[in-house]
Structure 1
Amino acid sequence: MLPAEIPRRHFDVDEYHRMLEVGLLTENDRVELIRGELVDMNPIGVAHMSVVTNLTHLLVSKASKRGLMVSVRNPVRFDRDSEPEPDIALIASGPRTELPSPDDTFLIIEVSDFTLDYDRDVKLPLYAGACIQEIWIVNLQARNIEVHAHPELDTYREKRTFGRGEGTVSATLDTLTIPVDEVLL
């Protein structure tokens, strides 16, 4: 990041999409728009990929029973200057003519290996500010899953951590439980 005193050029979501349309960015560029800034996303390692794949497999049938879809590494439009691309989002089912909004998003999951501080210090407050009701952070280093629920301003009122031998229990989606051992093989 640049020092705060150096002026930065901020972008809104329309400008961000225009960069894609004219070829300044491509769908292969691993960036997301966070608070008006283009942020590089880290390369995906094997452990990260495995967890996203396991979670996707575990969530598909559970989500469809609730009228939700599993969206993997796709954007969610928050406001004029943020369009994050979480690892997994449970969104309202149905055909789409625009990107899902916070109102369409019921759970976001971030898989964190080297990005834990960024996910906790930047993305978690962003998600809370957008009123996403529940966020899971899969902490690959500590081998656990943090559940953050019930946003209030830029934080969450509730945080629970689930480890090996436990089932991760959703705070907002009734009966949604995912065994930690099936996520972190």
Structure 2
Amino acid sequence: MTATSRPDDGFSEQPISDFRLTVDDLETMVRAGVFDRVDSGKVELVEGRLVHMASESLLHARAAGRLSLALNLAITRLSLEQRFEVLNGGTVRISDISAFDPDGAVIARGVEGFFMRPDQVFLVIESSLSTLSRDLGSKSRAYAVAGIAEYWVIDVKNAKLHVFRRPVGGAWTESLTLGASDKVSPLFAPGADISLASVF
């Protein structure tokens, strides 16, 4: 019995490579309603690849919501509501091939555009339960490279807030870790004095 040779279909010597999306491609897909299906879930674009994000737990959502509320209250108390706006979500354009959906962000009030640009963002917040290593690792580096002024990661399980500030050359120049007994103020509102007991 001899093997039958198959005709050359023209693809035998073609290299196999991934198709990478751009943030512009993602915007087109979102505008077209590609992710509007009930089962599509939340996605982020990471280095040109669509990454499906896990559903949010109650603990995760509660911590992010409480911190956003505390920021809103501080902005109002300091009479800064005409300058800053707190978002519970949204998409930040990190590069031409990466776009993240943080759990919270503070932007300049009245900015325009489909996705947020790094120069429009004063603070990005991620609430982490099962994604802590990524949020403190690759995602933190990506935000620093993009030039985000300040990045907070809520460590839900350990009741900690990791604060990263003032990126230079793609790396954070300041970082600190705070607990439930501490207070925190973002760079854009140094007098905020948010009690982390209200978050944890």
Indicate whether 1:46 and 2:69 are aligned: no
Indicate whether 1:130 and 2:128 are aligned: no
Q: Which residue of 2 aligns with 1:82?
A: 98
Deviations, residues 65-122 of structure 1 (Å, cap 9, x unaligned): 3311011111122331122111000000015343321111001111111000111112
8 Å Cα contact 1:133/1:172 also seen in 2: no
Deviations, residues 140-162 of structure 1 (Å, cap 9, x unaligned): 12211011111123321111111
Question: How far apart are residue 168 of structure 1 and its match?
Answer: 2.1
What are structure 1's unaligned runs of at least 5 residues? 1-5
Q: Which residue of 1 aligns with 2:67?
A: 55
- CA–CA separation in structure 1 for the residues paired with 2:33 and 2:87: 25
**Between Structure 1 and Structure 2, how many residues are aligned?**
179
Aligned partner of 2:191 among 162, 166, 175? 175
Q: Which residue of 2 aligns with 1:141?
A: 157
TM normalised by structure 1 equals: 0.87
- CA–CA separation in structure 1 for the residues paired with 2:195 and 2:96: 37
SS at match of 1:150: strand
Relative CO higher for 1 or 2, CA cutoff 8 Å, sep ≥ 6?
2
- CA–CA separation in structure 2 for the residues paired with 1:27 and 1:74: 18
What are structure 2's unaligned runs of at least 5 residues? 1-15
- CA–CA separation in structure 2 for the residues paired with 1:46 and 1:27: 22
Question: How far apart are residue 177 of structure 1 and its match?
Answer: 2.3
CA RMSD of aligned residues (A): 2.0
8 Å Cα contact 2:90/2:102 also seen in 1: yes
8 Å Cα contact 1:147/1:171 also seen in 2: no
- CA–CA separation in structure 2 for the residues paired with 1:60 and 1:114: 26
